[in-house]
Each structure stands twice: as structure tokens, then as C-alpha cells.
């Protein structure tokens, strides 16, 4: 056994609607950590926002259900998926230790949107993934669309507005949507992921209901024109020298998959690599890297596209902390590109350390 030289704080759970996905992602990451180099310190953020510190791990747990901690006087792991693991209640700042790197496996608001990243910056700890700006902009569909436009990336037509504007004049915004966009329409909360709060609308009545539903998840929403297209995705890895994976495609039997179909019923299949002409795959990879740089991405992201039958390409969105479940596109894309999950996790940790070292060097110069 080689000497342990660093601790990984695996931060997971969170208060977003993607809480349960985070547990599955964290469990999958846990399987691929090199435990001869690292000790893993799980820290669970409950749906109520409490931080619970689990017992340190020198090897992976057998089931993701074991990661759901309840508060108690002494941390311990359940014997199996049906038991109840116990964690000790801590203050968020208690995670700060020397020779420690944080892997924030948090999806959605209060995790992937720059809030945790800002907290870790204040603590002065290295962490995996995008920084504050890229996380916040990537999470916000309105802002990311504006940045994509500035970067010259093609997008489907859309209309964006907020709850105040909707409350003042819903008919005006209905008219704007129906006057500028063609059905079917897809209505999305501006700051949400994993298809949470997203609806497809084919009539005026469905559009109105879809807007009301989306506003339950966020005060700002986006209404996009639907197109007949394949959904393709690219994984990006790196800091300033980022590179793109092969292109993957979602094989769909329906034109829209909601949260349950993606994560509960798991009916979405992936075609990796996507059966596309080389020139089209190359262009998608180029667009993915351009989007990544437009947001000043770090570490990792998954960039999603629409590709029509005539091979027109439209960027959809960027995910700065994509799902890491066993059936998530991001790790599967890198596996197909020749980078297994074990080496991928190690690369992400090293990228985080390099990013932290660079920031520390800039701070020294400015003093």
C-alpha cells in the first residue's frame, strides 16, 4: 500500500431537485478513486441543507443508498442498502483541511450554479470542475444563450422572460411566443437541469400550463422552438488546453424525455460514437470547445446539440457538472474515446490542483 498523500472531500446530495442523481453520481465516482493514493471523506448535504460528515472511506461502498446519511453522534456506514448510515452534523467550513481537494458532485441549483464554487474559493480549497463564473453562466440558460450568441454558435429561436413580466401581462408573452416561434415549443426553467420542470407544448393551452409549471422551479424561463433533430452530446475535459470526446447520440423512441424517463425508468439509450459524417462530428466538437471557452470552462463539461436530418447543428446547452451515473453520457463518452473512468477521475483531480496552483500564483504576484 502506497503512502496516502491527499484527502478527497466527496460533496454530494444538495437541495436541488437533482439530489438523488447526485447520490448515484457520487457512488459511481467512488468506485473509480485510487484508494492507494487518497482517503475519501464523504460529506452529505441533506435536502434541508444540513451538512453531515460520514466516516472516512478507504474503499467504495456497495450501494448508493448507503450514502444517504442521517444525523447521529457517531458516523458509521450501514451494512447494506436497506440500513441507515449515520453522519455527524458539521458546519460547512469544517471541511477545510490541509492536503485536501473537494469533488463537488452536486447537480442543479445550490451546487452547479457557482454558489458552492464561491464558497470553496472563500475557503481557499482546490475543487474539481468549473469556477464561479462558468458555473453560474452555464447553469443559467438565458445568460449562456447570450454568450453562445456572442461566440457565433447557432441556436434555435427562443423567447425568455421572468415571473414579474408574466404576471403583469401573460397574454403579451403568449403572443410573443406564438408570434415568433412555431409549435411544438419546449418550456424550460432558466436554472434547472436533468429535464426538471421542462414541458413540451403543442397548443395554446399546453403552452400556458407549461409556463406555469416552469415558474414553479425558477423565476425566469425560456421558451424554445422545437425542431426535428437528433440530440448529440460531447464531453469536454481540460483547463486552458481542453479537448473533446467522440460525439454521442441519444437514441429516442419519443421526441421528449422527462426526468422520470431519464433517471427512474432509464429508457434513454446512447449511440457512442454517433453515426454521423466525420465533418459533422468534427464541427460539433469544434462548437463544444468554443462554447467551453466562451464560459471560461475548467475541468469538465458536457455540451449538448441538436443535429437535423440535413446536418444543421444547433447548440442546446452546457452542463458544468454533468451526471456521473454508470449510464450517464459524460463518462461513457470518455470510455469510448479511450479514457476509462478511473483515469478520468484522476485527470479531473489533477486538473483541479493545477487550476488551484495557478490561482495561488496569481494571488502571490498581486500582493
Q: Is 228 annotated as a binding residue?
A: yes
Q: Is 171 annotated as a binding residue?
A: no
Q: Is 163 annotated as a binding residue?
A: no
Q: Is 48 annotated as a binding residue?
A: no
Q: Is 234 annotated as a binding residue?
A: no
Q: Is 319 annotated as a binding residue?
A: yes
Q: Is 231 annotated as a binding residue?
A: yes
Give the C-alpha separation, 253 to 183, whole Å.
20
Q: Is 364 annotated as a binding residue?
A: no
Residue 141: asked if its preceding bond is cis (omega within 30°), the reply is no
Q: Is 359 annotated as a binding residue?
A: no
Give the C-alpha separation, 365 to 312, whole Å.
46
The CA–CA distances, whole Å, from 295 to 10, 145, 170, 189, 323 equal 25, 11, 32, 20, 19
Q: Is 141 annotated as a binding residue?
A: yes
Q: Is 194 annotated as a binding residue?
A: yes
Q: Is 195 annotated as a binding residue?
A: yes
Active-site residues, by number, are 18, 194, 328
Q: Is 227 annotated as a binding residue?
A: yes
Q: Is 316 annotated as a binding residue?
A: yes
Q: Is 317 annotated as a binding residue?
A: yes
User: Which of 104, 108, 105 has the alpha carbon at shortest distance from 118?
Assistant: 104
Q: Is 245 annotated as a binding residue?
A: no
Give the C-alpha separation, 297 to 134, whole Å.
6
Residues comprising the binding site for ATP?
141, 186-188, 194-195, 224-231, 316-317
Show binding-site residues. 141, 186-188, 194-195, 224-231, 304, 316-317, 319
Question: Would you list which residues are annotated within the binding site for Mg(2+)?
Answer: 304, 317, 319
Amino acid at each position: 500500500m502506497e503512502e496516502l498523500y491527499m484527502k478527497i472531500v466527496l460533496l454530494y446530495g444538495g437541495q436541488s431537485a437533482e439530489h438523488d442523481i447526485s447520490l448515484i453520481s457520487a457512488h459511481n465516482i467512488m468506485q473509480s478513486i485510487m484508494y492507494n493514493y487518497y482517503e475519501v471523506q464523504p460529506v452529505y448535504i441533506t435536502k434541508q441543507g444540513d451538512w453531515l460528515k460520514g466516516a472516512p472511506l478507504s474503499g467504495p461502498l456497495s450501494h448508493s443508498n448507503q450514502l444517504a446519511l442521517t444525523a447521529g453522534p457517531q458516523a458509521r456506514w450501514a451494512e447494506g442498502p436497506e440500513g441507515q448510515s449515520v453522519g455527524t452534523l458539521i458546519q460547512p467550513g469544517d471541511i477545510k483541511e490541509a492536503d485536501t481537494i473537494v469533488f463537488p458532485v452536486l447537480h442543479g441549483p445550490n451546487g452547479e450554479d457557482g454558489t458552492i464554487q464561491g464558497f470553496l474559493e472563500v475557503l481557499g480549497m482546490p475543487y474539481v470542475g468549473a469556477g464561479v463564473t462558468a458555473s453560474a453562466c452555464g447553469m443559467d440558460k438565458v445568460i449562456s444563450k447570450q454568450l453562445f450568441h456572442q461566440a457565433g454558435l447557432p441556436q434555435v429561436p427562443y423567447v425568455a422572460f421572468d415571473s414579474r413580466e408574466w404576471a403583469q401581462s401573460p397574454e403579451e408573452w403568449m403572443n410573443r411566443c406564438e408570434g415568433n416561434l412555431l409549435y411544438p415549443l419546449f418550456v424550460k426553467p432558466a436554472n434547472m437541469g436533468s429535464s426538471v420542470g421542462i414541458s413540451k407544448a403543442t397548443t395554446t393551452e399546453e403552452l400556458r400550463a407549461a409556463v406555469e409549471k416552469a415558474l414553479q422551479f425558477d423565476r425566469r424561463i425560456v421558451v424554445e422552438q422545437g425542431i426535428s433533430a437528433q440530440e448529440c452530446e460531447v464531453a469536454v475535459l481540460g483547463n486552458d488546453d481542453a479537448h473533446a470526446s467522440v460525439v454521442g447520440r441519444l437514441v429516442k423512441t419519443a421526441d421528449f424525455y422527462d426526468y422520470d424517463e431519464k433517471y427512474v425508468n432509464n429508457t434513454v439509450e446512447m449511440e457512442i460514437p454517433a453515426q454521423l459524417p466525420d465533418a459533422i462530428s468534427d464541427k460539433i466538437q469544434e462548437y463544444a470547445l468554443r462554447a467551453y471557452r466562451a464560459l471560461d470552462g475548467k475541468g469538465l463539461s458536457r455540451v449538448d446539440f441538436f443535429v437535423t436530418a440535413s446536418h444543421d447543428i444547433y447548440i442546446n446547452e452546457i452542463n458544468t457538472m454533468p451526471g456521473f451515473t454508470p449510464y450517464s453520457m459524460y463518462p461513457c463518452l470518455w470510455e469510448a474515446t479511450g479514457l476509462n473512468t478511473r483515469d478520468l477521475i484522476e485527470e479531473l483531480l489533477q486538473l483541479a490542483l493545477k487550476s488551484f496552483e495557478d490561482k495561488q500564483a496569481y494571488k502571490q504576484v498581486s500582493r
